[in-house]
Structure 1
């Protein structure tokens, strides 16, 4: 059987120093900052303003050293391979004083045959010398020329390393180096280098499976390969042929699975996973190597087809022939020091996406290809993954050595990840075509030659030739998209492909009530910034006198360009400030972010009308998470504390929901795509409201629609519509009410519900805009606490109720909601009767 020794207990030193220092005990993964912090040599970059004090670390070279011992008996093994699963980034590797490897790409797995270089029953010394990636990038830039970038120092484009390490508008520069993935010694006679369970023809009647194995074995040996399959319920599936004689380096075992259980994203079905066990045997029955893959059988398509009554084409996904509207979020690296992000962290964060009713996560191109566990959890929980290749916000070089490194990188990652059914699309880059537009680089859309290396946009060769060819050869069942955004006449074309819609916050800084006219066929980025929890600031700022909204420390924990002006613009434009204390400001920015994102999700999801009319295929908010404690566009902060926007997105992403939008009577525009009127202005006009239902399930749902109209200031119920029988059509939006007229000159809130057999399935409230003009006198919110929940009521309509457990961190299933008279809102969570509960609501 194959034997593996993982190298641990790394020692480190600054290059040229005499003294080695012991790193974290038993750590298999390391980045130099993690070791320096653990030994109190530098402060955490997350605390106070220390990130600026530790920049020197990234400018130095660093050395690592460890020893491992190989038993004498392992000398009998045919091959000894040192496997470097990730070295960050420019590394010279020595084994027992002999150089065995030089690396320059963080994303490549390097394997070195050290069979004749090992010592047995005595220590083997492994030495790693890491050059500063920052210094190397600047050196390479002088050779290959300066490029362009939107974030971070432009020299970063020369290096195949996680780009966010140069600093981004949501994170400090933390220039890491080290063995960021495990180093292992593999000893074997025969080895399964790679096993790909290729689903050739996924369908519900019979799916054809091709288990492709890449094998390292002696040519003369009699070695058998055996494949076993177990169904999702653990029942073994008989297949033929089972065992085959190994001849050569590659072997394919083909067989059908009849009536397979198909994998669906959450909300569309179950997530059954088949277990494929591939084993190498010697002629005497000895197991030489074994690998197990859990694989979902599914077919994923990117549908770009003509639309009825609209220009351009659709952009949405089908899984097993079922159209899927994508409610999701963008994912950035979970930590500025990757080796400190744990398995438990991955599980917690993917579960947060599930708790937020999301069905897609986009792995953004400025970080790194995520850990295996990330994709396994997405497989298990039914989260589709949009996977960018690691290029972001820049014009990259494309000289031969660079392309060769990218090819090696992509082959490494596709082979590692291609058994994961969650993978739904590969995108060549993040916003690099936008950089090309912004910087007037060569981009002839009629040139399809595939070789653009002599132009000022040479990386187009990578995105339109290198990457699609590799994907077609290694994982042809996943659609490829040249970039994000990409499609149409330019990257902002709302009728073809996907867009990043940043004209709220960035760009023209539109009012967020106008999201409906800013949407596209698929919006893969949009967002609004908000401050994180007061607890998060208390965790990362040690000076209590700095805990106010405009302090130097608070400003330092915000990297967004022009954040003070832009955040103030959206707050002042929309919400009444309720005190100048820090917690009030935090609440106000979070409510504003929640309102902003709620408008986007409901406006765009409305446009999912069914066959030929899927004018919008999804909304992927920027962003789910943070890599450090900071104010950003994240809907959950670094410490896992959801902002109010997390819950707003969750409510707008329910399988069954109701939506509303307010229009001006005098300017009502029956847009053929949206059915939504002109944007609001702040004069008194006569308004009407559209009401619709959304249903992600695959069955029609007969229901009753209930609609009440309240005067905001008095809280009086002034109108109730007669309950109407409606049907929420399967897997689409259904219009219920067109232009419900509202009383002129009155500020009224419309409260809608859909009910089945007396049970409320979904609610929505449409409030007059802007909220800052509204007054809420004589409001009272009552609540009762029990173990596991808190129940809230209100005497009049109340906006943006926030429940806070002050004495500890508790994840609540709902927050930031509205309450109407007669409702009992039950918030579940790990609440105790003894908890210190805080209640806040808008204009309290």
Structure 2
């Protein structure tokens, strides 16, 4: 027989609920019950209209899956049933005998069934496999009752999710539906083998990095746990682009039983090897994404027979999280291969409520889209899942850094022994699976769990109580998970080479929570001087004007965002009744889960734009939908531009180390914070981020005069509306700067600043032209606090400030600052010209300044740019169109 055979049990399954008598065929495994019920036409699509409410009953039932298979030839080999993921409370029986009880969706189970398989010929050789899934909500409530020693506190959803190791967003979130599904959500396979790899770990150090050349000296050691009764050698081969770099055979370590291994397990450790001039893996924009092929084989005593093989793709890089005292407090930024990296990107939630819907290609499309948007980091949020290998492989290949949360979010989690044991197994498996990906540069304990400490005054004495056992007895026992259990596992499972024996440090940094301020701020009250922050005084909290964002940053902003509508085509997909496609309809409100979204969206639109513009008719929300898109784009653009400016000129000046918008994507069609909708259609905010994170990006901002309130002072004890609007015209001060992620050397460039009348399109005063040396990997100020002077004879009028960056005669970036609020401005005919110069290329220009020009996008048509402002005298906006010629796209702008 072959040394190893694998049979994927993907077909021949049936399913039913305990309330039904008839078994129905399963379309495929991996599977979940909602998909199968839709496949048989038994339920409506939960993503459309208000159908989510019609399928809530599914989560209250027990569901069963079953299949049959024949016993494979064994010849003395071991036969395992491997369940890569069961969602969630599952009892597995083989031939009527219970072989597994699982209560953790994130854990893979391997069960030796050699003695349970049917023996014989013909029908006697058939086996029946049945999996029973109990309702997660019901079991969660039972666990809450069973553990009165814990005060379960759960935000966003109900308490039943707290003790359940299941994707937390299945309970619903402020952007997602309540769809408590179940099923074998990952592959089930039958594996027959004589030998197999149980674990592979590569510890390495990157030394002597050659400045600007991307090469270094790498020293590494390979550890492999192998289950084999007849193994003699471990062969290690490292290959780069088809050329062998290292080949080693090692006999040492044979019979070294470790951990939970059985007597038939050996630990092999290859000799430490050294690679001179190794090609390094770099984040996108900083160098190449070099990946090596690591091939391992277990060789029998005859020296030629291969007993087991393993293959990994990995890259070598050095990761540091720099937290140093400076004049602003304590820094928080990433240094990769000795180079400081501004981490501009976004937060990631699961791409579907039904995870089995997400194909490998869809994962690649998502990551490619982020990369094309000039993003360099993606944060895998703790209320979802540890994503599949294809997700991280795509990040490796495209150079996106991954901030990886452990799967805890917005709750005070329990710590009874069974829960801790399950979490330990979950975390260990996740670390072992993901640690070889060079893109993974941070492990983070949870999402926002420490905010409950402040909100509910839970016991937390960071400075004085350093005893982990005492934390288990406090009102915040989950501290034990985040500050003891998880960091211990990270150190043990991915140590640095110099500490691989003692596990005293990790090759991948660990951060206890997001947000986290090193125990001093955890943070309902945002502390901009230390750690990472979630800036939710935009939209949530005080719902401050977005124009204040430049003052609302921190050392690393790992969440912030603004809600915006998707395009009309997306709305048509989930609102099937045309009469319901208006803002505030029952269906539209149902597809916006954000608390108080009606008030907040109306506030942000009403503060900035005329109500008559919002009332403009049209499918998918018409003018109102368009204006929410403009507000969202303006908000995120202001944040990325200004907080990237806080990157400073170099070490010691890194006031902000990164910005991650909440959020990149959606799990269903919805009105949310996402900058790309469920169907992979970007909103204008996506392009605003793309422009702000360009390798060279110019920024312009004027002094903000709040027109809605007077700040409280000693005389006025409350905010009032006694505001003088005249400084909008008479007190104009501006800053202009250029941000660069280029590393080699300063870039010689020209910055042109023009002042253009909103009404006429003419320049209201002479332009400013400056030659600048743009510093590498930093920000270069061009104008700071420049006061605009109207002169004696000029009559003040509203104007836009347009800044353009030119390099070698080519305009590489531009930015526009408008007077606030825009609702005070008049927009007579703008003289917009949309020219289709050739198929697939659209040029857009205007005779007078235009705010928020947006093409209405749809799936299958890809644009290079969208959601921009137009200023006469500037270069025409050239938009490349893939999947169409552009003429079929409708468009609009503010005040049209």
Q: TM-score under structure 2 normalisation?
A: 0.89
Question: Residue 2 of structure 1 corresponds to which residue in structure 2?
Answer: 4
Cα offset for 1:740? Answer: 2.4
Which runs of structure 2 are paired with 1:12-31 in the superposition (5 Å)?
12-15=15-18, 17-24=20-27, 27-31=28-32
CA distance in 2 between counterparts of 1:454 and 1:736 reads 56
Q: Compared with structure 1, are the counterparts of its residues 203 and 290 closer, same or farther at alpha carbon in structure 2 (3 Å cutoff)?
A: farther
**Cα separation, 1, equivalents of 2:349 and 2:704:** 39
Count of residue correspondences? 822
Match of 2:384?
Answer: 367
Cα distance in structure 1, aligned partners of 2:357 and 2:78: 32
Could you tell me which of 512, 526, 529 is aligned with 1:482?
512
Take 1:172 and 1:222, find their aligned partners in 2: how far apart are those partners? 51
Alignment of 1:193-592 (within 5 A): 193-201=198-206, 203-204=208-209, 205-218=216-229, 221-231=230-240, 233-241=241-249, 246-248=254-256, 249-253=266-270, 254-284=272-302, 285-308=304-327, 310=328, 312-446=329-463, 447-451=465-469, 452-475=471-494, 476-488=506-518, 489-490=520-521, 491=523, 492-577=526-611, 578=613, 579-581=615-617, 582-592=621-631
Please say if residues 682 and 770 of structure 1, whose CA atoms lie closer than 8 Å, have aligned partners that are also in contact: no
Q: Which moved more, 1:551-560 or 1:808-817?
A: 808-817
- Using the TM superposition, give the Cα deviation of residue 418 of structure 1 relative to its aligned residue in structure 2, in angstroms: 1.0
Give, in whole Å, the separation in 1 of the partners of 2:227 and 2:394: 30
1:835 CA displacement: 3.8
Counterpart-to-counterpart distance in 1, 2:248 and 2:677: 51
Contact 2:681–2:857 (CA under 8 A) maintained in structure 1? no
2:702 pairs with 1:662: yes
Contact 2:231/2:307, CA 8 A, preserved across alignment: no
**Residues 696/189 of structure 1: CA separation in 2 closer, same or farther (3 Å cut):** same
Distance in 2, Cα, partners of 1:67 & 1:423: 39
Q: Distance in 1 between matches of 2:207 and 2:398?
A: 20
Inter-CA distance 536–77: structure 2 relative to 1 (3 Å threshold): farther
Deviations 1:638-696 (A, max 9, x none): 111111111111111111101112126999xxxxxxxxxxxx97712111111000001
Distance apart, 1:75 and its partner CA: 1.5
Deviations 1:86-108 (A, max 9, x none): 11111110011111010111111
Structure 1 800/665 Cα, relative in aligned 2: closer, same or farther at 3 Å? closer
TM-score (normalizing by structure 1): 0.95
Alignment of 1:765-804 (within 5 A): 765-785=816-836, 786-804=838-856
Asked whether the equivalents of residues 14 and 62 of structure 1 are also in contact (C-alpha less than 8 Å), the reply is yes
- Contact conserved, 1:222 with 1:245, CA < 8 A, in 2? no
Q: What is the rounded CA distance, in whole Å, between the counterparts of 2:866 and 2:31 in structure 1?
A: 38
Contact 1:424 1:478 in 2 (8 A): yes
Q: What secondary structure is seen at the aligned counterpart in 2 of 1:828?
A: strand
Shift of residue 183, structure 1, vs aligned partner: 1.0
* Structure 1 SS opposite 2:856: strand
Per the TM alignment, residue 77 of structure 1 is displaced from its structure 2 partner at its CA by: 4.4
- Structure 1 segments unaligned to the other structure (5+ residues): 668-679
Contact 2:567 2:856 in 1 (8 A): no
Q: Any conservation in 2 of the 1:93–1:102 contact (CA below 8 Å)?
A: yes
Question: Aligned pair 1:691/2:736, yes or no?
Answer: yes
8 Å contact kept, 1:241–1:255: no
Quote the Cα distance in structure 2 between the aligned partners of 1:831 and 1:184: 39
Query: Cα deviation per residue 1:467-502 (whole Å; 9 max; x = unaligned)?
Result: 000000012211001100011522222111001000
2:144 paired residue among 129, 135, 141: 141
Q: How does 1:105-184 map to 2 (within 5 A)?
A: 105-119=104-118, 122-145=125-148, 146-184=151-189
Give deviations 1:593-637, integer Å, cap 9, x for gaps. Answer: 101111111111111111201000011000000001110000011
Following superposition, the deviation at residue 288 of structure 1 comes to 2.1
Give 3-state SS (helix, strand or coil) of 2:863's partner.
Answer: coil
What is residue 759 of structure 1 aligned with on the other side?
Answer: 810
8 Å Cα contact 2:289-2:396 kept in structure 1: yes
Question: Equivalents in 2 of 1:467, 1:681: separation in Å?
Answer: 52
Distance 1:13 1:470, change over 3 A: same
Superimposed CA distance per residue, residues 482-525 of structure 1 (whole angstroms, 9 cap, x where no aligned partner): 10001152222211100100001000111110012211100100
What is the CA–CA distance in structure 2 between the aligned matches of 1:394 and 1:278, rounded to whole Å? 42
Counterparts of 1:666-745 in structure 2, within 5 Å, are 683-685=725-727, 686-698=731-743, 699-743=745-789, 745=796
For the residue of structure 1 that corresponds to 2:660, the secondary structure is strand
